[in-house]
Amino acid sequence: MHGNCIYHSHKEINFVMLTFTLLVVLFASPSWAALPQFSWDTLPVFFHSSNTTGIYNDDALKTIAKFKMATIEKWMGYDMKNIDDEDEMVLAMRAIKAANPKIATYFYMNSFKDRPEMTRMARELSENPSYYLRDSDGTRVKNGGGFYAFDLSNPDVRQWWLNICLNATKFANGDGCFCDSSQRENSSFRPKPLAEKLKNWGEGMLNLTRDVQEALGENKLLIGKYPGQPYVKAVQIESFEPTNDSIVSLMLGASHGQVVQAHVPISIECSSDLTNYLATFLIGAGQYSYFGCGNWNATGNDTRPLTWLPEYDKPLGPPKSTGVYNSQTGVWSRLFASGTDVLFDTKTNKGTIKWSQ
């Protein structure tokens, strides 16, 4: 599920051209800027999780409503009996929107994996044998994680996927869909389909993202997984680390005018010291970049995904420029209008933030 970084820290980057491009994006207003909300006043943050035991209580909803974006994951209501997770996801989205009509909400979908958590999709897939990706002998293909794959070269499959996204968005009064695992190439398929089939499958993935984003329209988003991914207007960096690679990936998405979600690895406790992660984000963030932390699902009274850090309320203000890189010291720096000053050392992968008081 993790995307490969476009650049590596040992490769030379043309910072002059990158900075120029980012300056254009940083202070421009995209034509689709109506969604989601964005402000430099404080750290822009997003929520991405679910509750396996069902709908969120009022306290949880009040916290989620403070974020600018919220995606409800596939485990919503998974421990409940005789319900489809998709229905619980829609109900959660509606409840969040009722708590804050201005928040942008998104319905989780996997681009090609038959996930058992998506109970209705799994059932409909089993009822349509032609929807499975198969090898030359007709054997159903699994990915490296052991999940059967959708045959995205089949236009009926893409239409099925699109309809689910549009219907969920409509009934939830939502703002789009999250498209997980949206890479065009997959070397983990077993048994391995013929090369021509894999090529057509990859083109199907591209067609899927294009058709769904077009169907969603200008003011709604399909969230992909890789900065610079064609056609999608938003992407998530799923495992955002305190590294130069993450800074450049974040900048890449911003340079394409994309909404970019930078999510801390789910193994990291949100209540711990996140200074290095926050500094990495603040160095690379552009217009419509958002920071996120938390595990993908919680059970019962597990409030880890609902952590609201003190840093989320500290003054920030628009950046004075894009991140400035010193090639001699290997240190990035950036100053924000409030006086908040950020440094990130690529040799030690350590960051410092002097927050404005």
What is the Cα–Cα distance from 228 to 220, expressed in whole angstroms?
A: 18
The whole domain housing 80 covers 15-354
Asked, for residue 27, whether it belongs to a domain, the answer is yes
Sheet holding 259-263, edge to edge: 46-49, 69-72, 104-110, 176-180, 221-224, 234-237, 259-263, 289-292
Per the CB < 8 A criterion, the answer to whether 222 and 184 are in contact is no
pLDDT in tens, the chain (357 residues): 323 232 233 333 333 334 333 443 343 334 333 579 999 999 999 999 999 998 899 999 999 999 999 999 999 999 999 999 999 999 999 999 999 999 999 999 999 999 999 999 999 999 999 999 999 999 999 999 999 999 999 999 999 999 999 999 999 999 999 999 999 999 999 999 999 999 999 999 999 999 999 999 999 999 999 999 999 999 999 999 999 999 999 999 999 999 999 999 999 999 999 999 999 999 999 999 999 999 999 988 789 999 999 999 999 999 999 999 999 999 999 999 999 999 999 999 999 999 998
What is the Cα–Cα distance from 327 to 347, expressed in whole angstroms?
A: 11
Q: What total number of domains does the chain contain?
A: 1
In Å, how far are 74, 99, 159 from 302, measured between CA atoms? 17, 20, 37
Burial class of residue 211 in the structure, from the number of CB atoms within 10 Å of its CB (0-12 exposed, 13-18 middle, 19+ buried)? middle
In Å, how far are 165, 220, 225 from 213, measured between CA atoms? 10, 8, 14
The single-letter code of the amino acid at 269 is E
Asked, for residue 267, whether it belongs to a domain, the answer is yes
User: In 3D, which of 304, 315, 258 has the Cα closest to residue 285?
Assistant: 258
Asked, for residue 4, whether it belongs to a domain, the answer is no
CATH code (residue 168): 3.20.20
Q: What is the pLDDT of residue 55?
A: 86
Asked, for residue 5, whether it belongs to a domain, the answer is no
Asked, for residue 347, whether it belongs to a domain, the answer is yes
Per the CB < 8 A criterion, the answer to whether 351 and 275 are in contact is yes
Asked, for residue 22, whether it belongs to a domain, the answer is yes
Asked, for residue 113, whether it belongs to a domain, the answer is yes
Torsion angles phi and psi, residue 232, rounded to 5: -80, 145
Asked, for residue 282, whether it belongs to a domain, the answer is yes
Q: Dmax over Cα atoms in the chain, in whole Å? A: 66
Whole-model pTM?
A: 0.90
User: In 3D, which of 70, 39, 15, 1 has the Cα closest to residue 323?
Assistant: 15
